[in-house]
Amino acid sequence: MAPDLEPNPLTEGGDEHGHPQHPLTLRAIKISIGLWRQCKKRGLLDDTGDETLRNMLFQTQVTGAKLAGALNSLAYRGEDVDAGFVVANLKRALQYLHQAIAAVGTVKAKNLLPIQDLSDYHAGLFALREEILALMKRFRKNQW
């Protein structure tokens, strides 16, 4: 962390290494890692694993990375916020999130995972989507 940047307690969370991250970024990462671990435990991620499942997980991981790019700088006090930049990056994150959401139905039809696990994952993705849309609306109104 740069010495002139002080973490903002209102907009930061922390990853397992103590680096400040926006809470929405952390949620996306936790959703992705949670299902990835379940798939890994079931042996679904090897070279012969399902391509749609791997793609769904990848899209969720990219969503987390895009959210980090859009939001993690908000974790510091004194940083100027370019609302247009944040909104543009949140829109990019949504593109990947929508691909992950779309893949859930295909993965569900293949019976690769228990229905409840996929339902929880799907609900988590939709909750993440709603929060991203709310943030976009807030930044568009410059109410940050």
- All structural domains of the chain with their residue ranges: 21-140
Q: Looking at this protein, which amino acid is placed at residue 12? A: E
- Tell me what pLDDT residue 111 has: 94
- Pairwise CA distance, residues 15 & 117, whole Å: 24
Please state, rounded to an integer, the average pLDDT across all residues of the chain: 85
Q: State the pLDDT at residue 79.
A: 57
**Per-residue pLDDT, 77:** 53
| Rounded (5°) CA angle 119-122-123 | 85
pLDDT > 70 fraction of the chain, expressed in percent and rounded: 81
Instruction: Please state the pTM of the whole predicted model.
Output: 0.82
Residues of the chain with pLDDT under 70: 1-20, 75-79, 143-144
* pLDDT confidence of residue 76: 63
Return the pLDDT at 1: 39
Instruction: Identify the three-state secondary structure at position 77.
Output: strand
Q: What is the rounded CA–CA span in Å between residue 31 and residue 73? A: 21
Burial of 99: CB neighbours in 10 Å, binned 0-12, 13-18, 19+: middle
User: What DSSP element (H or E) covers 20?
Assistant: strand 20-21
Give the burial class of 9: count Cβ atoms within 10 A of its Cβ; 0-12 exposed, 13-18 middle, 19 or more buried: exposed
At the top level of CATH, the class of 21-140 is mainly alpha
Per-residue pLDDT at 19: 61
